[in-house]
Amino acid sequence: MTDCADVARERLATLPTPLHPAPRLSEHAGVEIWFKRDDLTGLGLGGNKVRALEFLLADALAQGCDHLVTGGGPQSNWAMLAALAARTRGMPSTLVSYGDPPAGGAVGNHALAVLAGARLHFTGDPDRTSADRGVEEVCGRLREEGLTPYGVYRGGATGLGALGYAHATAELDEQVRDAGVRPRQLWLATGSCGTQAGLVAGRAWLQAEHDVVGVTVSRPAPECRERVHRIASEACGLLGVSARPLQVEIIDGFMGPAKGARSTAGETAAELVARTEGVFLDPVFAAKAMAGLLAAAADGTVEGPVVFLVSGGAPTLFTA
Cis status, amide bond into 21, omega within 30 of 0: no
State how beta strands 211-216 and 249-251 pair: parallel
Residue type for 198, please? G
With H, G, I as helix, E, B as strand and everything else as coil, classify residue 74. coil
Q: 215 pairs with which residues across the strands?
A: 189, 251
Element (H, E) at 187: strand 185-190
Considering the candidates 76, 93, 97, 130, report the single residue annotated as catalytic: 76
Nearest to 83, CA basis, from 74, 75, 92: 92
Element (H, E) at 77: helix 77-88
Residue type for 25, please? L
Residue type for 109, please? N
Buried b (16+ CB within 10 A) or exposed e, 109-147: bbbbbbebebebbbbeeeebebbbbbbebbbeebeeeee
HEC readout, 200-265: HHHHHHHCCCCEEEEEECCCCHHHHHHHHHHHHHHHHHHHCCCCCCCCCEEECCCCCCCCCCCCHH
Element (H, E) at 121: strand 119-122
233 catalytic residue (yes or no): no
Catalytic residues: 76
